[in-house]
Amino acid sequence: MFRILVVDDQARIREGMRTILLKRQETMEIETAANGLEALSVLQRKKIHLVITDIRMPDMDGIALMESAARYYPDIPFVVVSGYDDFSYAQKAIEYGARAYLLKPLERTALLQAVDRIYGEYCVGRTKQEPELKDGIFTQMLSYLKGTGANPALVQKLKRDHSFLEQDYRVALFGFPERELDMQEEGIRLRLSILLERETDGVPHLLVKGERELVLLCGVWVKPEAWMGEIRRFFPGSAAVSGVYSGIGQLQTAYVQAREIGIHHFLFPGKDCLMPEDLLGLKSDFTIPYHEVERIGDLMGSCEDADIADYISRIFDRSVLCRYRIGYTLALCDTLYRSLRAIEAPLREAGMEAGLDMRKTNSPMEYFSMREYLLSLQEKMLRLHHLVYEYKKAYRENAELEKAIAYIRNNYHKQLTLAMVSNDVSLNYAYFSNVFRKYTGKTFMEYLRDIRMEEGKRLLSKTDQRIAQIAEKVGYDSYKSFSRAFKESVGITPAEYRRKKQIMKQEN
């Protein structure tokens, strides 16, 4: 299918051209982008056969887009549509391979004539084209480098077009975090691609663009480490360079070594470009300090915020991390993650995990640097720490309130007051009054009255004691006050309640 990319910062114009083109040829597929950066992203993801672009656009204009595309996708034809008839624009566009330069307001006929001409060339070219590589060269190259299978056609193409790989070469890797790239990082990747192409201009090389990495294959005389000063201004990651290899048959080994070196950039935050010699002396055997890691369970909810930060600094002591290969750091992250998940479990059962997300705590490779990972880790751990504090506080309050209820049940016959009970459980008078009501659904006096009424009804129905005696036993100082409280609670007087119970007993 013939796929066209329409690039214009005005949505109305983009959709208008899409409609015109689809009416002309329904078998065409139309992609759109609002500026040059978005267009380069589309070119990377999809096979595009024609680009129709405006000149003046934010972030990256049409001329800059054509300049970049000429490096990476030199076979893609461009049609330029612009509101500017300045000769300098047309001259630049033609310099970068524009097949047509159309002025706005756009004439439908002129647009279709330009597209028809290029579409006709595409159709003729397809009939003459010999089958070679089914997918894009970058996709095939990355698959080959990762060792996913043999690819004789690709090997022959490399031997024919990149003969320098039959001699000594190195592999340089510029990696991005193992997460979905946002637009800012996509822009960084594009700038990095342009810079690498500029630095290697005129020198045999091959730049392979993957979804999360740029792979530079170059002769040993090319020094990627020498460019990192300029790259560092906008690229937050680091480069990794393999040792010297020779022959296409060693490409996969060189790539694997570059990746192995690259993941160690967490241990060298101040180093822009890692070389094989940087890993010499790092230990592979290690023992995780499980006891120290699991001590977080004692700290959570019981310490100051600063103590959490100190804990992270001790666990991830850089002087210790740098003694070992990256496996130690990854195992340490995973061990801490498991401890945090165990702490989180009772919170989930209590429904208190809202806003808590411990994912990626065991995945530092999803971050650009160890510093970025540790900042994220500290934020998550502080959130967990505050939730655990609230959980423990609620648990303590429940225990204190149960103690208060037991005190009331054991002393209801005395002249109890709210102050006496709150003092017994060492809680502030007003605070205790509030939490007691929330916990029981009753005020202190209502709860005390109900306890006394419960015992009063038992004595009235089970004993022959005088009502005045019962009143005294359940905490009232007179028959009258007990009788009044009883009627308000039960609906009848103590004497009436006793007679009712006696009649029921006789009938049974």
Evaluate whether the domain defined by 399-507 bears CATH number 1.10.10.60. yes
Q: What three-state secondary structure class fits 360?
A: coil
> In the prediction, which pLDDT does 180 show?
56
Each domain of the chain, given as residue ranges in start order, spans 2-128, 135-275, 290-392, 399-507
Crossing angle for the helix pair 183-199 and 62-72, to the nearest 10 degrees:
60
Token pair of 377, please? 């880790």
Beta strand 213-219 with 168-175: parallel, antiparallel or unpaired?
antiparallel
Q: Helical H runs in 412-474?
A: 418-424, 429-440, 444-462, 467-473
Minimal CA–CA distance to 70: which of 96, 47, 91? 96
Same CATH topology for 2-128 and 399-507: the answer is no
Per-residue pLDDT of the chain in tens (508 residues, 90 and over written 9): 789 999 999 999 999 999 888 887 767 899 999 998 899 888 878 888 899 999 888 888 888 888 888 777 777 889 988 876 555 666 677 667 688 878 877 888 888 888 888 887 777 665 444 334 444 566 778 788 877 667 788 888 888 888 888 889 999 888 766 655 555 566 766 777 777 777 776 677 888 877 677 888 888 877 777 777 777 676 777 789 999 999 988 999 999 899 899 889 888 887 888 999 999 999 989 999 999 998 898 888 888 999 999 999 999 999 999 999 999 999 999 899 989 988 888 888 777 765 677 777 888 888 888 888 999 999 999 999 998 888 777 777 788 888 899 999 999 999 899 999 989 888 888 888 888 888 888 899 999 999 999 999 999 999 999 999 999 999 998 999 999 999 999 999 999 999 998 888 888 7
The amino acid present at 415, given as its one-letter code, is Q
Residue 143 makes CB contacts below 8 A (sequence gap 6+) with: 149, 151
Minimal CA–CA distance to 49: which of 24, 29, 26, 33? 29
> In the prediction, which pLDDT does 459 show?
94
Q: What three-state secondary structure class fits 479?
A: helix
DSSP state of 480: H
Beta carbons of 151 and 140 less than 8 angstroms apart = yes
Task: Give the whole-angstrom CA distance, residue 67 versus residue 202.
Answer: 16
DSSP state letters, 256-324 = HHHHHHHGGGGG-TT-SEE-GGGGTT-BS-----HHHHHTHHHHTTTS-HHHHHHHHHHHT-HHHHTTB
* CATH number of the 135-275 domain: 3.30.70
> In the prediction, which pLDDT does 450 show?
92
Q: Is 149 exposed, middle or buried (0-12, 13-18, 19+ CB in 10 A)?
A: exposed
Evaluate whether the domain defined by 2-128 bears CATH number 3.40.50.2300. yes
Separation in Å, CA 209 to CA 41, 170, 196, 470: 11, 16, 11, 91
How many other CB atoms are there within 10 angstroms of residue 141's CB atom?
A: 25
